[in-house]
Structure 1
Protein backbone atom coordinates (compact mmCIF):
# COMPACT_ATOMS: atom_id res chain seq x y z
CA UNK A 1 0.00 0.00 0.00
CA UNK A 2 1.41 3.36 -0.99
CA UNK A 3 1.61 6.07 1.64
CA UNK A 4 0.19 9.32 0.28
CA UNK A 5 2.63 12.18 -0.11
CA UNK A 6 2.13 15.02 2.32
CA UNK A 7 4.13 18.16 2.51
CA UNK A 8 5.19 19.24 5.95
CA UNK A 9 3.87 22.72 6.32
CA UNK A 10 5.09 24.31 9.47
CA UNK A 11 2.31 25.72 11.58
CA UNK A 12 2.81 27.52 14.84
CA UNK A 13 1.45 25.87 17.97
CA UNK A 14 -1.97 27.16 19.01
CA UNK A 15 -2.43 29.02 22.30
CA UNK A 16 -5.92 28.60 23.73
CA UNK A 17 -5.16 29.91 27.23
CA UNK A 18 -4.90 26.56 28.98
CA UNK A 19 -1.60 25.48 27.39
CA UNK A 20 0.67 28.51 27.84
CA UNK A 21 3.65 26.62 29.33
CA UNK A 22 3.84 24.23 26.38
CA UNK A 23 3.02 26.96 23.82
CA UNK A 24 5.81 29.19 25.13
CA UNK A 25 8.48 26.52 24.64
CA UNK A 26 7.22 25.48 21.20
CA UNK A 27 6.72 29.07 20.07
CA UNK A 28 10.27 30.03 20.99
CA UNK A 29 11.58 27.25 18.77
CA UNK A 30 9.05 28.05 16.04
CA UNK A 31 10.09 31.71 15.84
CA UNK A 32 13.78 30.78 15.93
CA UNK A 33 13.14 28.40 13.03
CA UNK A 34 11.80 31.33 11.02
CA UNK A 35 14.92 33.35 11.74
CA UNK A 36 17.12 33.80 14.79
CA UNK A 37 16.86 37.56 14.30
CA UNK A 38 13.06 37.31 14.50
CA UNK A 39 13.48 35.80 17.98
CA UNK A 40 15.83 38.68 18.86
CA UNK A 41 12.96 41.09 18.13
CA UNK A 42 10.89 39.23 20.73
CA UNK A 43 13.71 39.60 23.25
CA UNK A 44 14.87 43.12 22.41
CA UNK A 45 11.75 44.73 21.03
CA UNK A 46 11.33 47.05 18.08
CA UNK A 47 10.06 50.52 17.47
CA UNK A 48 9.58 52.33 14.16
CA UNK A 49 12.59 54.40 13.06
CA UNK A 50 12.46 58.06 13.97
CA UNK A 51 14.14 61.20 12.76
CA UNK A 52 14.40 64.67 14.16
CA UNK A 53 12.79 67.65 12.55
CA UNK A 54 14.34 71.14 12.32
CA UNK A 55 13.28 71.94 15.90
CA UNK A 56 14.81 68.79 17.41
CA UNK A 57 11.51 66.93 17.88
CA UNK A 58 11.38 63.22 17.06
CA UNK A 59 9.04 62.17 14.25
CA UNK A 60 8.29 58.78 12.75
CA UNK A 61 10.41 58.25 9.70
CA UNK A 62 8.33 57.47 6.56
CA UNK A 63 8.76 53.83 5.53
CA UNK A 64 9.98 54.96 2.11
CA UNK A 65 12.97 56.62 3.86
CA UNK A 66 14.01 53.60 5.91
CA UNK A 67 17.52 52.30 5.23
CA UNK A 68 18.23 48.61 4.59
CA UNK A 69 18.98 47.82 8.26
CA UNK A 70 15.81 49.54 9.49
CA UNK A 71 13.75 47.64 6.93
CA UNK A 72 15.40 44.34 7.88
CA UNK A 73 14.79 44.89 11.60
CA UNK A 74 11.16 45.81 10.94
CA UNK A 75 10.80 42.70 8.78
CA UNK A 76 12.11 40.46 11.59
CA UNK A 77 9.67 42.06 14.05
CA UNK A 78 6.81 41.48 11.59
CA UNK A 79 7.78 37.84 11.10
CA UNK A 80 7.81 37.23 14.85
CA UNK A 81 4.58 39.18 15.35
CA UNK A 82 2.87 37.27 12.54
CA UNK A 83 3.95 33.96 14.08
CA UNK A 84 2.54 35.03 17.44
CA UNK A 85 -0.72 36.35 15.99
CA UNK A 86 -1.36 33.27 13.85
CA UNK A 87 -0.77 30.99 16.84
CA UNK A 88 -3.57 32.49 18.94
CA UNK A 89 -7.16 31.38 19.09
CA UNK A 90 -9.71 34.20 18.90
CA UNK A 91 -9.97 34.63 22.69
CA UNK A 92 -6.20 34.87 23.15
CA UNK A 93 -5.90 37.40 20.32
CA UNK A 94 -7.88 40.06 22.22
CA UNK A 95 -5.07 41.14 24.63
CA UNK A 96 -2.56 41.68 21.78
CA UNK A 97 -4.83 43.13 19.10
CA UNK A 98 -3.13 46.54 19.13
CA UNK A 99 0.46 45.36 19.52
CA UNK A 100 2.90 46.43 16.81
CA UNK A 101 5.97 44.96 18.48
CA UNK A 102 6.61 41.24 18.96
CA UNK A 103 8.16 41.82 22.39
CA UNK A 104 5.10 43.74 23.54
CA UNK A 105 2.76 40.95 22.35
CA UNK A 106 4.93 38.28 24.03
CA UNK A 107 4.94 40.18 27.35
CA UNK A 108 1.18 40.80 27.25
CA UNK A 109 0.52 37.10 26.65
CA UNK A 110 2.89 36.19 29.47
CA UNK A 111 1.13 38.57 31.86
CA UNK A 112 -2.28 37.35 30.69
CA UNK A 113 -1.41 33.66 31.16
CA UNK A 114 1.11 33.68 34.03
CA UNK A 115 0.15 36.83 35.90
CA UNK A 116 2.37 39.26 37.76
CA UNK A 117 5.66 38.39 39.47
CA UNK A 118 3.85 37.94 42.80
CA UNK A 119 1.41 35.57 41.07
CA UNK A 120 4.33 33.58 39.62
CA UNK A 121 5.91 33.36 43.11
CA UNK A 122 2.64 31.95 44.42
CA UNK A 123 2.52 29.45 41.55
CA UNK A 124 6.12 28.41 42.34
CA UNK A 125 5.16 27.78 45.99
CA UNK A 126 2.15 25.73 44.90
CA UNK A 127 4.35 23.67 42.55
CA UNK A 128 6.88 23.10 45.33
CA UNK A 129 4.08 21.77 47.55
CA UNK A 130 2.77 19.57 44.72
CA UNK A 131 6.29 18.25 44.13
CA UNK A 132 6.84 17.47 47.83
CA UNK A 133 3.43 15.78 48.19
CA UNK A 134 3.72 13.73 44.99
CA UNK A 135 3.77 9.98 45.63
CA UNK A 136 3.65 7.07 43.28
CA UNK A 137 0.36 5.21 43.56
CA UNK A 138 0.40 1.43 44.11
CA UNK A 139 -1.31 0.73 40.77
CA UNK A 140 0.65 3.37 38.84
CA UNK A 141 3.42 2.50 36.39
CA UNK A 142 6.79 4.19 36.57
CA UNK A 143 6.08 5.86 33.22
CA UNK A 144 2.80 7.33 34.49
CA UNK A 145 4.50 8.58 37.64
CA UNK A 146 7.36 10.08 35.64
CA UNK A 147 4.88 11.96 33.40
CA UNK A 148 3.26 13.53 36.46
CA UNK A 149 6.67 14.39 37.89
CA UNK A 150 7.95 15.87 34.59
CA UNK A 151 4.80 17.98 34.27
CA UNK A 152 5.58 19.64 37.59
CA UNK A 153 9.26 19.95 36.63
CA UNK A 154 8.40 21.65 33.30
CA UNK A 155 5.97 24.07 34.95
CA UNK A 156 8.65 24.97 37.49
CA UNK A 157 11.17 25.60 34.69
CA UNK A 158 8.66 27.84 32.90
CA UNK A 159 8.28 29.87 36.09
CA UNK A 160 12.06 30.21 36.42
CA UNK A 161 12.53 27.70 39.24
CA UNK A 162 14.21 24.59 37.83
CA UNK A 163 14.29 21.47 40.00
CA UNK A 164 17.71 19.81 40.13
CA UNK A 165 18.19 16.26 38.84
CA UNK A 166 19.45 15.23 42.29
CA UNK A 167 16.24 16.45 43.90
CA UNK A 168 14.12 14.64 41.30
CA UNK A 169 16.05 11.39 41.74
CA UNK A 170 15.77 11.65 45.50
CA UNK A 171 12.04 12.31 45.16
CA UNK A 172 11.57 9.27 42.92
CA UNK A 173 13.45 6.97 45.28
CA UNK A 174 11.55 8.25 48.34
CA UNK A 175 8.14 7.94 46.74
CA UNK A 176 8.38 4.51 45.13
CA UNK A 177 5.93 1.90 46.44
CA UNK A 178 7.42 -0.87 48.58
CA UNK A 179 7.34 -3.36 45.69
CA UNK A 180 9.90 -1.24 43.81
CA UNK A 181 11.96 -0.34 46.88
CA UNK A 182 12.52 -4.02 47.66
CA UNK A 183 13.71 -4.63 44.07
CA UNK A 184 16.13 -1.71 44.29
CA UNK A 185 17.50 -2.99 47.62
CA UNK A 186 17.96 -6.46 46.10
CA UNK A 187 19.83 -5.00 43.12
CA UNK A 188 21.97 -2.84 45.41
CA UNK A 189 22.84 -5.82 47.63
CA UNK A 190 23.83 -7.93 44.62
CA UNK A 191 26.27 -5.21 43.56
CA UNK A 192 28.01 -5.38 46.96
CA UNK A 193 28.76 -9.11 46.61
Structure 2
Protein backbone atom coordinates (compact mmCIF):
# COMPACT_ATOMS: atom_id res chain seq x y z
CA UNK A 1 0.00 0.00 0.00
CA UNK A 2 1.32 3.44 -0.93
CA UNK A 3 1.65 6.14 1.74
CA UNK A 4 -0.93 8.96 1.72
CA UNK A 5 0.22 11.98 -0.27
CA UNK A 6 -0.15 15.45 1.24
CA UNK A 7 -1.60 17.91 -1.29
CA UNK A 8 -1.35 21.04 0.85
CA UNK A 9 -4.93 20.85 2.13
CA UNK A 10 -6.56 19.21 5.13
CA UNK A 11 -3.41 18.60 7.14
CA UNK A 12 -5.23 17.02 10.10
CA UNK A 13 -6.78 14.23 8.02
CA UNK A 14 -3.50 13.57 6.23
CA UNK A 15 -1.58 13.45 9.53
CA UNK A 16 -3.96 10.80 10.92
CA UNK A 17 -3.69 8.73 7.74
CA UNK A 18 0.10 9.03 7.71
CA UNK A 19 0.36 8.02 11.37
CA UNK A 20 -1.78 4.93 10.66
CA UNK A 21 0.34 4.11 7.62
CA UNK A 22 3.59 4.48 9.58
CA UNK A 23 2.23 2.36 12.41
CA UNK A 24 1.19 -0.34 9.94
CA UNK A 25 4.69 -0.40 8.44
CA UNK A 26 6.37 -0.44 11.89
CA UNK A 27 7.88 3.00 11.21
CA UNK A 28 6.15 4.91 14.00
CA UNK A 29 9.00 4.15 16.39
CA UNK A 30 11.32 6.28 14.23
CA UNK A 31 8.95 9.23 14.58
CA UNK A 32 8.43 8.74 18.31
CA UNK A 33 12.16 8.47 19.01
CA UNK A 34 12.87 11.46 16.76
CA UNK A 35 15.71 9.85 14.84
CA UNK A 36 18.27 12.10 13.25
CA UNK A 37 17.48 13.45 9.76
CA UNK A 38 19.97 12.33 7.12
CA UNK A 39 22.12 15.11 5.62
CA UNK A 40 21.41 16.46 2.14
CA UNK A 41 23.13 14.74 -0.79
CA UNK A 42 25.54 16.61 -3.02
CA UNK A 43 23.75 18.77 -5.63
CA UNK A 44 20.31 18.47 -3.99
CA UNK A 45 17.13 19.37 -5.84
CA UNK A 46 14.89 22.20 -4.63
CA UNK A 47 12.35 19.68 -3.31
CA UNK A 48 15.04 17.90 -1.31
CA UNK A 49 16.15 21.24 0.18
CA UNK A 50 12.56 22.22 1.11
CA UNK A 51 11.84 18.80 2.58
CA UNK A 52 15.07 18.81 4.59
CA UNK A 53 14.34 22.30 5.91
CA UNK A 54 10.82 21.33 6.99
CA UNK A 55 12.07 18.15 8.65
CA UNK A 56 14.82 19.90 10.59
CA UNK A 57 12.76 22.92 11.65
CA UNK A 58 9.36 21.26 12.16
CA UNK A 59 7.65 23.81 9.92
CA UNK A 60 5.51 21.28 8.06
CA UNK A 61 3.30 20.75 11.08
CA UNK A 62 3.07 24.38 12.14
CA UNK A 63 2.48 25.54 8.57
CA UNK A 64 -0.50 23.29 7.94
CA UNK A 65 -1.92 22.42 11.32
CA UNK A 66 -3.09 25.94 12.00
CA UNK A 67 -4.08 27.83 15.07
CA UNK A 68 -7.18 26.76 16.99
CA UNK A 69 -9.01 29.94 16.00
CA UNK A 70 -8.30 29.32 12.30
CA UNK A 71 -9.58 25.75 12.58
CA UNK A 72 -12.71 27.06 14.28
CA UNK A 73 -13.31 29.44 11.38
CA UNK A 74 -12.77 26.62 8.88
CA UNK A 75 -15.36 24.52 10.72
CA UNK A 76 -17.84 27.42 10.63
CA UNK A 77 -17.24 27.84 6.90
CA UNK A 78 -17.85 24.13 6.29
CA UNK A 79 -21.02 24.19 8.41
CA UNK A 80 -22.27 27.22 6.49
CA UNK A 81 -21.49 25.46 3.21
CA UNK A 82 -23.34 22.36 4.48
CA UNK A 83 -26.43 24.39 5.36
CA UNK A 84 -26.47 26.23 2.02
CA UNK A 85 -26.34 23.07 -0.09
CA UNK A 86 -29.39 22.35 -2.22
CA UNK A 87 -29.86 19.47 -4.61
CA UNK A 88 -29.65 20.39 -8.26
CA UNK A 89 -32.54 18.86 -10.25
CA UNK A 90 -30.09 17.63 -12.90
CA UNK A 91 -27.96 15.69 -10.39
CA UNK A 92 -28.63 12.34 -8.73
CA UNK A 93 -29.29 11.87 -5.04
CA UNK A 94 -26.00 9.99 -4.77
CA UNK A 95 -24.03 12.94 -6.19
CA UNK A 96 -25.79 15.28 -3.77
CA UNK A 97 -25.20 12.96 -0.79
CA UNK A 98 -21.54 12.55 -1.77
CA UNK A 99 -21.14 16.34 -1.83
CA UNK A 100 -22.65 16.60 1.66
CA UNK A 101 -20.56 13.71 3.01
CA UNK A 102 -17.41 15.39 1.65
CA UNK A 103 -18.24 18.52 3.67
CA UNK A 104 -19.06 16.41 6.75
CA UNK A 105 -15.74 14.57 6.48
CA UNK A 106 -13.88 17.88 6.31
CA UNK A 107 -15.60 19.09 9.51
CA UNK A 108 -14.88 15.77 11.23
CA UNK A 109 -11.20 16.05 10.32
CA UNK A 110 -11.19 19.40 12.13
CA UNK A 111 -12.70 17.84 15.26
CA UNK A 112 -16.41 18.69 14.83
CA UNK A 113 -18.91 15.91 14.26
CA UNK A 114 -22.22 16.22 12.44
CA UNK A 115 -24.62 13.50 13.53
CA UNK A 116 -26.02 11.05 11.01
CA UNK A 117 -29.55 12.18 11.81
CA UNK A 118 -28.66 15.75 10.85
CA UNK A 119 -27.19 14.61 7.54
CA UNK A 120 -30.28 12.54 6.71
CA UNK A 121 -32.54 15.45 7.71
CA UNK A 122 -30.59 17.78 5.42
CA UNK A 123 -30.88 15.36 2.51
CA UNK A 124 -34.61 14.78 2.99
CA UNK A 125 -35.59 18.46 3.34
CA UNK A 126 -33.51 19.69 0.43
CA UNK A 127 -34.60 17.19 -2.20
CA UNK A 128 -36.70 18.46 -5.14
CA UNK A 129 -40.49 17.99 -5.20
CA UNK A 130 -40.28 15.01 -7.55
CA UNK A 131 -38.96 12.96 -4.60
CA UNK A 132 -41.77 13.97 -2.21
CA UNK A 133 -43.62 10.64 -2.54
CA UNK A 134 -40.43 8.70 -1.85
CA UNK A 135 -39.66 10.80 1.23
CA UNK A 136 -43.23 10.37 2.53
CA UNK A 137 -43.01 6.60 2.11
CA UNK A 138 -39.77 6.47 4.10
TM-score bin, normalised by smaller chain: 0.7 to 0.9
TM-score, L = length of structure 1? 0.56
State yes or no: 1:140 paired with 2:91: yes
TM-score, L = length of structure 2? 0.75
Greater relative contact order (CA < 8 Å, ≥ 6 in sequence): 2
Largest Rg, 1 or 2? 1
Per-residue CA shift, 1:23-57, capped at 9, x if unaligned?
Answer: 2342132012023853982xxxxxxxxxxxxxxxx
Q: Is the 8 A contact 1:31 1:39 kept in 2?
A: no
Deviation at 1:115, TM superposition (A): 1.8
Q: Alpha carbons of 1:93 and 1:39: their partners in 2 closer, same or farther (altered >3 Å)?
A: same
**Runs of 4+ displaced beyond 4 Å:** none
State yes or no: 1:97 paired with 2:88: no
Partner of 1:111: 62
Q: Is the 8 A contact 1:135 1:175 kept in 2?
A: yes
Per-residue CA shift, 1:131-180, capped at 9, x if unaligned?
Answer: 11111111111111121111111110111101111111111111111112
How far apart in 2 are the matches of 1:13 and 1:160?
20
**What residue ranges of structure 1 are gaps of 5+ in the alignment?**
1-9, 42-73, 83-89, 100-104, 189-193
SS of structure 2 residue aligned to 1:11: coil
State yes or no: 1:169 paired with 2:120: yes
Partner of 2:75: 124
Deviation at 1:95, TM superposition (A): 5.8
Work out which of the residue numbers 180, 183, 190 in structure 1 matches 2:131.
Answer: 180
Q: RMSD of the TM alignment (CA)?
A: 3.1
Deviation at 1:13, TM superposition (A): 1.6
How far apart in 2 are the matches of 1:173 and 1:95?
50
Partner of 2:7: 16
Q: Is the 8 A contact 1:28 1:39 kept in 2?
A: no
Partner of 1:35: 26
